[in-house]
Copies of this chain bind each other. A is one copy, B any other.
Amino acid sequence: MASLSGNAVVGQSGGPTAVINQSLVGVVEGLRAGLMKSGAVKQVFGMRHGVNGLVKGNLVDLSQVPQDKLSAIAETPSAALGSSRDKPDPEYCDRILKACQEKGFRYFFYIGGNDSSDTCRIVNEMARKAGYELRCIHVPKTVDNDLPINDHTPGYPSAARFVATAFRADSLDNRSLPGIKINIVMGRHAGFLTAAAALARLREDDGPHLVYVPEIAFDTERFIGDVDRVYTKLGRCHIAVSEGIEDSQKRAIATTLIKNIEKDSHGNVQLSGSGALGDALADLLKDRLTKLKGLAKPPRVRADTFGYLQRCWPDASPIDKREAREAGRYAAQLAAEGAADGSVAIIRASSAPYTSSYKRIELKDVAAQTKHMPNEFLSGHCDVSPAFIEYARPLVGELPQVAWL
């Protein structure tokens, strides 16, 4: 069977990661090894800033980029093509389809998270209705690790590596100058990234001592009690808090504690790029613990919000680099094998030694879906389980070794 002839276009979408360029380069390499080699695809273009660049004709020809340049770009964090937060509605998707028709694009690769797979799905359906043969393949990416079916998603292991490294180092800092320290970690609805803080622990009394994820309703009174218990016992308390923690009514704690919080165009509360949640929790602890313990002055409470460094830190996990690259190549291979559409999923084959494989899944099964931490990854209301540690440890790679007297 002769492959569908036409050009290919690839884009990056959503929050960038340390390895999203690995996937971009993987797609280009996969095309060169398959559809471009066979002649079905003559050129591959990159969309500048996702579908926004596609509809505006802001494209870059990737066909002739030398391999050594591609390899260097793969090692560079963030989105080399530029990314986009546009969430296309049907009218926008129609413009995407028209742009593909005008340019003769027959292969559409989109690297991103839930929203990006949904864009793929809509464009794919519109193309079918319009009778325009277009292969729409989604390549997974998200530091939140919240795509279904996938064992984990490219970007998560590197962000988890940053979080675990940061907690290991900051736990030593907290031990050195004791006090209560809150670190706010990314993750709007899924706690996987916050949970990775637990990988930092080496000793029984190492931080984080408390881990709060969005999957478990956050109760401020219980939180104050947790901190008091640890602080009374150890004289310090090291805390991992997901930016997305919610109360039992599913209201973001950020909105219940902070006045004048910003909402984005999708109505989402602005969680990242602000230290407000950490500061609000720190103020709460200072106030309440002072009263609870009858202290003359508030205890030392500090809050750091790890922010965008989590997704762009240039020390990616070795497994993440490899898998993100291979996921991109696999997407191109799926297209070469005649897949009309689909998303790439990472499947874990074994944990020790860690091995994984890739498979095609339906766009509808990943589009706009959110995976949460399963119960077996949690322990009580403020810790993770050994099963989570076993799951996450191989992904992040070797962490910095530390020693103590």
Which A residues contact B (CB, under 8 angstroms)? Answer: 12, 15-16, 46, 60, 62, 65, 69, 72-73, 75-85, 165-166, 168-170, 172-173, 175-178, 181, 262, 272-276, 278-279, 282, 286, 298, 301-309, 311-315, 400-405
Which among A79, A177, A305 has the highest number of chain B CB atoms within 10 Å? A177
Cβ contact within 8 Å between A309 and B308: no
- Give how many copies assemble into the complex: 2
In the complex, which of the residues B169, B275, B276, B405 contacts A309, with contact meaning CB atoms closer than 8 Å?
B169
From residue A98, how far is it (CB to closest CB) to chain B in Å?
25
A302 CA / B272 CA spacing, docked (Å): 8
Cβ contact within 8 Å between A314 and B402: yes
A83 CA / B300 CA spacing, docked (Å): 14
Contacts A77-B402, A166-B309 known; 10 new A-B pairs at CB < 8 A: A16-B176, A76-B404, A80-B403, A173-B311, A262-B298, A272-B302, A274-B279, A276-B279, A305-B307, A309-B309
Which among A80, A83, A405 has the highest number of chain B CB atoms within 10 Å? A405
A82 CA / B172 CA spacing, docked (Å): 9
Which among A181, A274, A276 has the highest number of chain B CB atoms within 10 Å? A274
> A76-B402, A314-B168 are contacts. A176–B82 as well, Cβ < 8 Å?
yes
A59 CA / B166 CA spacing, docked (Å): 29
A90 CA / B82 CA spacing, docked (Å): 59
CB-CB under 8 A from A82, the residues of chain B are 175-178
Cβ contact within 8 Å between A401 and B308: no
CB-CB under 8 A from A168, the residues of chain B are 314
Cβ contact within 8 Å between B78 and A176: yes
Cβ contact within 8 Å between A405 and B176: no
Cβ contact within 8 Å between A303 and B279: no
A47 CA / B156 CA spacing, docked (Å): 41
Cβ contact within 8 Å between A60 and B275: no
From residue A322, how far is it (CB to closest CB) to chain B in Å?
18
> A275-B278, A313-B169, A314-B169 are contacts. A73–B405 as well, Cβ < 8 Å?
yes
List 18 interface pairs A-B (beta carbons < 8 Å), by A numbering: A75-B403, A77-B402, A79-B176, A79-B177, A82-B176, A83-B176, A84-B177, A168-B314, A169-B309, A181-B273, A181-B308, A272-B302, A273-B303, A274-B275, A275-B275, A279-B279, A302-B308, A305-B305
A72 CA / B170 CA spacing, docked (Å): 18
